[in-house]
Amino acid sequence: MNKFLVKYDFETLIDEANIDELTDNNDRLLLNAIDAAVEETASYIRHRYDETQVFKVVQPYSDTTAFVEDDRIYWEETLFSTATTYTAGQRVSYNENIYSSIGTSTPGSFVPAEWTLLAENKTFYTCIDDSTGNLPTDTDYFSSGDNRNPKIKQIAMDITLYNIHSKISPRHVPEVRRIRYDGGGNKNDSENAITYLVKVQKGIITPNLPVIVPTEQNTERISYGNTSNSKYNY
């Protein structure tokens, strides 16, 4: 299931092995925690920013997926196996890079001459033109790089990890997770996720995010009551 965050994102904060240990290899727990984190983050910014654009999901790359403009793509291939026979065009990850097989290979060690280097493994792209079957390295259809706001992504990860710990052991949430979430009770801590979001909500901080485009519906003046002439903006 596609989410705003992918598992690889969390490696900046915690090793994947530690996530698996924390969740008992239950990715569903991680996905649910991500959903909750996105909703909590969105609740502070949706009055001003377009949450459908901010939290657009990241999709895994596949030859058969029909991508459309502005889709977020994450490209990861499976690890090279010395026991597998590969045919021309098959892709693998080896030494943190993605390779495509030039021809049919026999099982054994990785021979660079038999492979074409395509890109780094675990990389992000944005679709710039509708595409099916084109590699993310094709600049006619994709641009490289992660276009998610880095601060919002960091906050969503901090809240996700806090949510996981809170669900598993509410009384034993690690101090670092509490501090990164809400300061751990320290009112002078201004770097935690919640404090930042409150400042965004109040307009003290203006992050680089797509704002809500005014429409007739969300700028319409509405009159309430039979005798009152007061009008309210929604």
**pLDDT digit of tens for each residue in the chain (234 aa)?**
899 999 999 999 998 888 998 888 889 999 999 999 999 999 999 999 999 999 999 999 999 999 999 999 999 999 999 999 999 999 999 999 999 999 998 899 999 999 999 999 999 999 999 999 999 999 999 999 999 999 999 999 999 999 999 888 878 889 999 999 998 777 667 789 999 999 999 999 999 999 998 776 555 433 333 443 333 333
Same domain, 96 and 136: no
Residues 92 and 66 in one domain: no
Per-residue pLDDT at 209: 96
Helix extents (H) in 46-192: 51-54, 150-168, 175-182
Domain boundary residue among 85, 106, 121?
A: 121
Q: What CA–CA distance (Å, rounded) separates 95 from 183?
A: 39
Residues 164 and 228 grouped into a single domain = yes
Q: Are both 67 and 101 inside the same structural domain?
A: no
Q: Tell me, what's the pLDDT at 135?
A: 97
Residue 204 and residue 152 share a domain: yes
User: Is residue 7 domain-shared with residue 58, that is, in the same domain?
Assistant: yes
Statement to judge: residues 168 and 110 lie in one domain: no
Query: 3-state class of 195 per DSSP?
Result: helix
- Structural domains counted in the chain: 2
Task: Convert 144-180 to b/e letters by CB count within 10 Å (16 or more is b).
Answer: eeeebbeebbbbbbbbbbbbbbbeeeeeebeeebbbb
Are 168 and 108 contained in the same domain?
Answer: no
Q: What CATH number has the domain bearing residue 117?
A: 2.10.10.20
Which range of residues forms the domain containing residue 134?
Answer: 1-71+127-234
Q: How far apart are CA 204 and CA 199, in angstroms?
A: 5
Please indicate, yes or no, whether residues 143 and 230 belong to a single structural domain of this protein.
yes
The pLDDT score that the predictor gives to residue 227 is 40
Q: What is the largest CA-CA distance in the chain?
A: 85
